[in-house]
Amino acid sequence: MYIGIDKSQDETTNFFLRQSYRSEDGAWCSRDLFDLGGDPEKYIEYVDDRAFYISQELEHALSCLDVDYDYAELEEIFWPFIDPFIKQTIEAFGGLQGREYKRRKRLTRSELETMQAGIHLFDKRRFIFLKYLQIDTDSLLQRPLPFLNLLLEKSRDEIENMFDMMELDLKPWELKGYLYAIFGLPERFSPRLSRFIPDVQDQEMMDEFFLDEICRLNRDSDYLDQGARPSGTAWIHPYLKKYLFQYFDYAFRGPRPGRSFRENQNRAWRPSATEADSSLLEVMGMDQETFNNMTEKDFVRYFRKMAQKLHPDKGGDHEEFIRFQQAFQALMIKKKWW
């Protein structure tokens, strides 16, 4: 079971307790079990400042539907909606109690490969980035990873709601890298050494590649055929629409003429000038005056020239090259702002 979210045309949010199940033809589908309304917390009963239980009304409804469930699973499902103060108190006392954890069998690589053969590449990219927070995931995508088993035996709707919750932990400045990585944009700029750095790519080309990828995914039956909720539109599916808005309205927009100061403050992240700049400039091999006199194009040109020399494939040190990339990314953000 899981909590799914529906948004009406007037942007009203409604929550449902849902269940993924396997249909007769073997496809994973989803069904609504209980309408939780606009606030799932109303089905949480608090005993004191460190104890709660799930409403008997909800349990009775599940019993009437002959749903086989574990009460501990129900508590875990509602955990994100617990009052933050009570949640903090419960965590201080060891978190949710009374669960029985089964010892999992250690699976071989071949067993994992067989189990994960049907996991969609888009889901792998999202999960791997959210776990490791890195754009270069090529090597990780080439092998099976145990945590990817969490994507198994779930409908498309359950998987999308799981990612909705996981994406809430993304920091604003991580969103650009996330969108760039999960839609496979680094592959579009291959074999450039800078393909894992979105800030140095041509913005118009990147926009074109992004739209191409999101439209392709919107037509991908392997992505939407199992357990996807009806879209209600001939346009892009709601599962993907959020990424379209995030890309153009948030992560990849910059300060624009004609906008008020407050509007421009709503960018993903505005870095402040700090003393750390000197160490970043040192890594880049330049002084403050040289950096200030460079245009964005000059700075990118300098990066590409140095990257050719420092790249491990050219005999450079791997760790030094990573530091060089990170310093460039941080300074490039400042260059765009100031």
Residue 187 has pLDDT above 90, yes or no: yes
In a domain, 275, yes or no: yes
Residue span of the structural domain in which 204 resides: 110-251
pLDDT of res. 311: 78
156-160, 178-182, 253-257: segment of lowest average pLDDT: 253-257
Q: What is the CATH number of the domain that holds 277?
A: 1.10.287
Q: What is the pLDDT of residue 121?
A: 95
Query: β-strands 13-22, 28-37: how paired?
Result: antiparallel
Residue 258: what pLDDT?
A: 46
Provide the pLDDT for residue 260: 45
Same domain, yes or no: 134 and 162: yes
My answer on whether 116 and 239 are in the same domain is yes
- Which one-letter DSSP state was computed for residue 251? I
Mean pLDDT of all residues in the chain? 82
The answer to whether residue 260 sits within a structural domain is no
Is residue 106's pLDDT more than 90? no
Q: Are residues 285 and 247 in the same domain?
A: no
State the sign of the Cα–Cα–Cα–Cα dihedral 11, 16, 19, 25.
negative
Among 64, 92, 120, where does a domain finish?
Answer: 92
Residue 129 has pLDDT above 90, yes or no: yes
Q: Convert the pLDDT of each residue in 8-48 to its tens digit.
A: 666 678 899 999 998 888 888 899 999 998 888 889 988 87
117 and 53, same domain (yes or no): no
Report the 10 Å Cβ neighbour count for 269: 13
Phi first, then psi: what are they for 6, rounded to 5°? -120, 140
pLDDT of residue 210: 94
213-271 confidence digits (pLDDT tens): 999 999 898 888 777 877 766 678 888 989 988 898 777 765 444 444 344 434 433 34
In a domain, 310, yes or no: yes
Which uninterrupted H or E stretch holds 15? strand 13-22
| Confidence (pLDDT) at 277 | 67
Distance from CA of residue 285 to its chain's centroid? 34
Domain limit, last residue, from 201, 222, 251: 251
Which of 31, 62, 92 is where one domain is finished? Answer: 92
Tens digits of per-residue pLDDT, 299-337?
888 888 888 888 777 788 877 887 888 788 778 766 654
Specify if 309 maps to a domain.
yes
Of 85 and 63, the one with more pLDDT: 63
Q: What confidence score (pLDDT) does residue 262 get?
A: 41
pLDDT score of 101 more than 50: no
Q: Report if residue 123 sits inside a domain.
A: yes
pLDDT value at residue 100 = 47
148 and 217 together in one domain: yes
Q: Are residues 291 and 226 in the same domain?
A: no
Report the C-alpha gap between 338 and 292 in whole angstroms. 9
Question: Does residue 115 sit in the same domain as residue 244?
Answer: yes
pTM: 0.71
Q: How far apart are CA 280 and CA 327, in angstroms?
A: 5
Evaluate whether residue 259 is within a structural domain. no
Q: Are residues 217 and 166 in the same domain?
A: yes
* Count of structural domains, the chain: 3
Domain co-membership, 120 together with 192: yes
H or E stretch including 226? Answer: none
Asked whether residue 37 is domain-assigned, the answer is yes
Beta-carbon contacts of residue 189 (< 8 Å; ≥ 6 apart): 195, 201
Instruction: Give CA–CA dist 117/125, Å, rounded.
Output: 14
Say if residue 120 is in the same domain as residue 220: yes
Where is pLDDT greater, at 94 or 122? 122
